[in-house]
């Protein structure tokens, strides 16, 4: 048996210590940028003790009903605070509700019930409110739909039906919420080759809810056109999203080109599932926000800085 007091544990030992499978650990590493294992001489993963402690906290919170997408990127201190505050919640209540909702949505997709799908999503929106609907319902549901398609449980046209239904719902919400005089003025799009635009609509809905003015260019906008649109709309921020399928080697060069073209007065915020692969990449004038909560925090920080000026 391996010594659990060792400063570094193998992936098998971490699986035993935390109850998180090897597949989950590898998936989080790619999707969320945590954990960040070291490597031994054979190239095998080794996990420092502090990361194992953090993984234990994450597993505890997941068991209490919190989605991984909400907590994996959080600090150990924040996770400890969340663990203390969640003790009053019945264990697994939220997970059970989420699993039931996912089953309903997947069944509607397989049954080609577009109207039923829209109505069910809309009821969830009214029930939880826009912010919780986006963060706690849509984010995990979208992931579940993608996973079902990857396993062959959904056809590609059924995944497209889901995307269309969610886009319809979010666009209506953004139209009703977006304020012409809202701040900051945020331009949202993706670069050529990035067809996944659901993420930018989700974060645009959150920004709009919090009083920002959002301008969406849709997907696959060339850098030169983004720069021109940012100037034409007097944007304060340009938000880009990168999915897991976008070539990682192309992200930083594209961001550098955009940074040069839009000038220093416009901020660039970057999110999406493809961003954690960059790990600790740092680029002047570019803020990496893998989670939507981090993008919201960036907006609040932007406002507080403007108030000080």
Architecture, CATH, for domain 8-85: Orthogonal Bundle (1.10)
d(CA 200, CA 243): 11
The answer to whether residues 277 and 252 touch, using CB atoms and an 8 Å cutoff, is no
- Which residue carries 């095998």 as its tokens? 44
Topology adopted by domain 179-308: Rossmann fold (3.40.50)
**Can you give the pTM of this predicted structure?**
0.67
306 Cβ contact list (under 8 Å, min separation 6): 183, 184
Tokens of 23: 């597949």
CA 20 to chain centre: 21
d(CA 277, CA 191): 17
Confidence of residue 97 (pLDDT cuts 50, 70, 90): low
Summarised one tens digit per residue, pLDDT across range 213-250 is 999 999 999 999 999 999 999 999 999 998 877 888 88
Residue count of the chain: 309
Task: Give residue limits of the domains in the chain.
Answer: 8-85, 93-175, 179-308
Summarised one tens digit per residue, pLDDT across range 137-174 is 888 888 888 878 877 888 888 988 999 999 999 998 88
266 three-class SS: coil
Instruction: Examine domains 93-175 and 179-308 and report if their fold is the same.
Output: no
Tell me 2's DSSP state.
-
CATH code, residues 93-175:
1.10.1240.10
């Amino acid at each position: 048996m391996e010594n659990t007091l060792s400063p570094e544990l193998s992936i098998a030992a971490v699986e035993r210590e935390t109850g998180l499978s090897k597949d989950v650990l590898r998936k989080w590493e790619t999707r969320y940028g945590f954990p960040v294992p070291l490597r031994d001489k054979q190239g095998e993963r080794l996990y420092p003790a502090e990361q194992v402690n953090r993984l234990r906290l994450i597993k505890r919170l997941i068991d209490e009903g919190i989605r991984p997408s909400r907590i994996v990127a959080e600090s150990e201190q924040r996770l400890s605070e969340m663990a203390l505050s969640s003790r009053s919640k019945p264990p697994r209540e939220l997970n059970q509700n989420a699993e039931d909702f996912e089953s309903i949505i997947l069944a509607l997709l397989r049954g080609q019930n577009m109207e039923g799908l829209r109505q069910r999503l809309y009821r969830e929106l009214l029930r939880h409110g826009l912010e919780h609907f986006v963060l706690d319902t849509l984010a995990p549901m979208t992931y579940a739909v993608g996973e079902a398609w990857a396993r062959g449980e959904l056809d590609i046209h059924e995944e497209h039906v889901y995307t269309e239904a969610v886009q319809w719902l979010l666009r209506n919400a953004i139209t009703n919420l977006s304020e012409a005089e809202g701040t900051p003025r945020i331009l949202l799009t993706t670069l050529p080759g990035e067809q996944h635009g659901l993420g930018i609509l989700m974060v645009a809905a959150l920004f709009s809810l919090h009083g920002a003015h959002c301008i969406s260019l849709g997907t696959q906008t060339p850098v030169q056109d983004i720069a021109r649109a940012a100037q034409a709309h007097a944007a304060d921020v340009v938000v880009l999203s990168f999915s897991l399928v976008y070539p990682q080697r192309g992200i930083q060069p594209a961001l550098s080109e955009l940074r040069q073209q839009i000038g220093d007065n416009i901020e660039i915020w970057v999110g999406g599932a493809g961003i954690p692969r960059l790990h600790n990449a740092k680029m002047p004038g570019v803020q990496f926000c893998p989670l939507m909560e981090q993008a919201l925090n960036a907006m609040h920080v932007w406002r507080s800085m403007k108030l000080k000026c």
